[in-house]
Chain A
Amino acid sequence: MVPPPPLPVAIPLLVAAALVAGNVRPHRRLADGTAIACALVVTALCGLLLVGSLRGPIVYWFGGWSPRQGIALGVDFAVDPLGAGLATLTSLLVSSAMVFSWRYFEEIGQLYAALMMAFLAAMVAFCLTGDLFDLFVFFELMGVAGFALAGYEVEEPGPLQGAINFAVTSTVAGFMVLTGIGLLYGRTGALNLAQIGRSLSLHPVDGLVVVALLLVTCGFLVKAAAVPFHLWLADAHAVAPTPVCILFSGVMVELGLYAVWRVYWTVFAPSLGQARAVTGLLVGVGCLTALLGAVECFRQQHLKRLLAFSTVSHAGMFLVGTALLTSSGLAGAAVYVAGHGGVKASLFLCVGILMHRFRTVDAARLKGRGAAIPVVGGIFALGGLALGGLPPFGTSLGKELIEDAASRSHLSWVAVVLTAASVLTGGAVLREAGHVFLGLGRLERRPLHEIQEPETAGPRWRTPLVMVVPAVVLLAAGLVVGVLPGFPAGVEAAARRFVDSGAYAAAVLQGRSPPRVVPAVAAVPEAGTVVLSGASAAGALLLALLSLYAPPRLRRPGPGRGRLRPAAWFGWAQSGDVTDYVAWLVLGTAVYGLVLALGLR
């Protein structure tokens, strides 16, 4: 049975409205329970949509305004397996976040549950829509819910600043997208993705199309945290309530990337094809993002900032995979996103448990105290190894598939960058696992000036089971993605469907189902790359030990000491000042534009 596609969007929106309208303040459990039930229902619906879309895209026209003679008149949802899969991951993470919140917050208004539901609805709709303008509307809805959630602890300076930086940068990005949409509409008179693609392909590519490509791509890349658009991310992720962080890191960043490629493959690919300028630019940017994020990640001692920068690094790796403009690269990135979503969410929940128990996420104040919760330490260390690329986690499988796809596109050196980024991010997490949970190492660290009051009141003597279970489940999900037989082949088939612009347009505009894609046989990474993955996990462990025990001269210096160390140069753009971030955004767009204009000439 395939449910109507608007259902998983309408239900959480109605629940959000009901939670705000109904006076549930005295009954917090009622609000939380409703939200959990709603998120689980949405997960089931998205799962059904995913299964249904395996047979062919599900196209739903609102109000029955289906295309007349191949011309789209109405607004549609076009569900394909990758979009539905991302929606399923989203709703799964929202469910876990709501379960975790059950005991996490002492005092939290019913607005929190309502905002989470609105956020869920926006993200799911973003995955399912087939209309360019709706993509913008859901981008903004997702943004507004995200700003409010990031700044939920609005009395605290950290969350306030993080929310302002996030909101301003994201809003400017939204205007860039809208301007791009306006230009495309002016050229084609259409807003449906497939329709725009078809109209654009009737004319040669000119300056207007390149400008529209630039504006839409850069706008969505702001969400996807590509250098130099990544600056807002750490400020927002480090201060948002922990259950919200798992959504920001686990899916919101990935949704930005999804939008870039959804628009590219439906709108621009019919006229541009597999443009080498786009591959060159975005593979380069992805590598830079992966390395920069990894180095920044390794420098942090604030655990949430550390994980936030590791998300930047991973977003760079996803960008590399997708920018190859091949179905195998996209499939690798999709597997990686699924594995990363589980693992990173689990790591954030571990940090949330530390915050709940000890009222701080500063590693310097936590040294050895984590020994009281060994289970959480085990999850945290396993998560670190998974980020480092330990087979058979989904993260390692995804990384291997991207590396294979890159070598098939004659870009074998990408493997070096991806491995370096994995070693650094995995090493940083493992270092903190040793430091916090085992009290290892001779790190001399100064406690950070606390930028955020604890989200939870009072230190605790026990950790509720309801907080540990989601962390275990999510880590296990990250593992299952890597070992499930047939999963990579299925994703490969879905990715082929995703990059087939002609079949997408035929399905949307003519209602024609594409021929069934035969699952690829060779979606198994080569033995060499598997060994490399294992080696990179071992490298991460080695790096962690090295940074814990190396002589002080080689060790990473403490924060705030001397500005003349090379590592600090990586962080100088991270000023915390939103006007700087917008300046970087403008500069980045100009550079991207220059490269695209020269390359697509």
Chain B
Amino acid sequence: MSPLVAWLPFGVAVWLFVVGLYGIVTSRHLVHLIVCLSVVQSSTYVLLLAVGYRSGALPPILIDVPARTPTVDPIVQALCLTDVVVEVTVMAVLLALAVQAHKRFGTADPTRLRPQRG
């Protein structure tokens, strides 16, 4: 595997992280903002999977394969799965809050939610 291809997933992960953050910072709609959050989250999937990938290895299903067959790291998919479950919860709470904010403020623009001043 050429070095370029080996580094590509890491480049994609960085790109997704940065572009997601840019989206959040410039967002003018809560739903858009939450989608951007999930873009940032996707970067963590790509990173984790890239970390566990091994060139020329089999999937980590150890049935009917000889011992010592190289497989990709089985831990990272468990981590990704946990990550998905955790973040689905966060996104659900956030989307519920966004719907409620739209009802209450009449706008979903995060910059126009009435600021609190003390």
Q: Are A301 and B118 in contact (CB under 8 A)?
A: yes
Q: Which residues of A contact B82 (CB under 8 A)?
A: 133, 137
Within 8 A of A (CB), among B42-83: 43-44, 47-48, 50-51, 73, 75-76, 79, 82-83
Whether B94 is near chain A, meaning CB under 8 Å from some CB there, is: yes
Q: Which residues of A contact B35 (CB under 8 A)?
A: none
Task: Tell me the complex Cα distance, A448–B115, Å.
Answer: 13
Q: Which residues of A contact B26 (CB under 8 A)?
A: 579
Question: Hey, what's the 0/1 contact readout for B24-54 against A, CB within 8 Å counting as 1?
Answer: 1111001001000100110110011011000
Give the dominant DSSP class at B's interface: helix
Q: Are A234 and B101 in contact (CB under 8 A)?
A: no
Q: Are A579 and B115 in contact (CB under 8 A)?
A: no
Question: Hey, what's the 0/1 contact readout for A465-486 against B, CB within 8 Å counting as 1?
Answer: 0000000000000000000000
Q: Which of B89, B90, B116 contacts A161 (CB 8 A)?
A: B116
Q: Are A144 and B114 in contact (CB under 8 A)?
A: no
Whether A168 is near chain B, meaning CB under 8 Å from some CB there, is: yes
Q: Which residues of B contact A235 (CB under 8 A)?
A: 116
Whether A509 is near chain B, meaning CB under 8 Å from some CB there, is: no
Q: Which residues of B contact A141 (CB under 8 A)?
A: 86
Task: Tell me the complex Cα distance, A179–B13, Å.
Answer: 9
Whether A513 is near chain B, meaning CB under 8 Å from some CB there, is: no
Task: Tell me the complex Cα distance, A183–B73, Å.
Answer: 15
Q: Are A175 and B114 in contact (CB under 8 A)?
A: no
Q: Are A175 and B116 in contact (CB under 8 A)?
A: no
Q: Which residues of A contact B111 (CB under 8 A)?
A: 577, 579
Q: Are A559 and B94 in contact (CB under 8 A)?
A: no
Q: Are A161 and B113 in contact (CB under 8 A)?
A: yes
Task: Tell me the complex Cα distance, A239–B116, Å.
Answer: 10
Q: Are B90 and A157 in contact (CB under 8 A)?
A: no
Q: Are B44 and A178 in contact (CB under 8 A)?
A: yes
Q: Which of A140, A167, A306 contacts B118 (CB 8 A)?
A: A306
Within 8 A of B (CB), among A158-208: 158, 160-164, 167-168, 171-172, 174-175, 178-179, 182-183, 185-186, 189, 191
Q: Are A300 and B118 in contact (CB under 8 A)?
A: yes
Q: In this complex, which of A148, A155, A179 has the most chain B Cβ atoms within 10 angstroms of its Cβ?
A: A179
Q: Are B117 and A559 in contact (CB under 8 A)?
A: yes
Q: Are A175 and B17 in contact (CB under 8 A)?
A: yes
Q: Which of A144, A164, A189, A305 contacts B113 (CB 8 A)?
A: A164
Whether A104 is near chain B, meaning CB under 8 Å from some CB there, is: no
Query: In the complex, which residue of chain B has the Cβ closest to the Cβ of A191?
Result: B75
Task: Tell me the complex Cα distance, A164–B40, Å.
Answer: 17
Q: Are B116 and A579 in contact (CB under 8 A)?
A: no
Q: Are B94 and A182 in contact (CB under 8 A)?
A: no
Q: In this complex, which of B17, B73, B113 has the most chain A Cβ atoms within 10 angstroms of its Cβ?
A: B113
Q: Which residues of A contact B37 (CB under 8 A)?
A: 168, 171-172
Q: Are B98 and A179 in contact (CB under 8 A)?
A: no
Q: Are A582 and B101 in contact (CB under 8 A)?
A: no
Q: Are B104 and A579 in contact (CB under 8 A)?
A: no
Q: Are B51 and A185 in contact (CB under 8 A)?
A: yes
A-B residue pairs in contact (CB < 8 Å), sample of 12 = A140-B90, A143-B90, A147-B94, A160-B97, A161-B114, A168-B24, A175-B44, A182-B47, A238-B116, A301-B118, A579-B110, A583-B25
Interface residues in chain A, defined as those with a beta carbon under 8 Å from any beta carbon in chain B: 133, 137, 140-141, 143-144, 147-148, 151, 154-158, 160-164, 167-168, 171-172, 174-175, 178-179, 182-183, 185-186, 189, 191, 234-235, 238-239, 299-302, 305-306, 448, 451, 559-560, 575-579, 582-583, 586
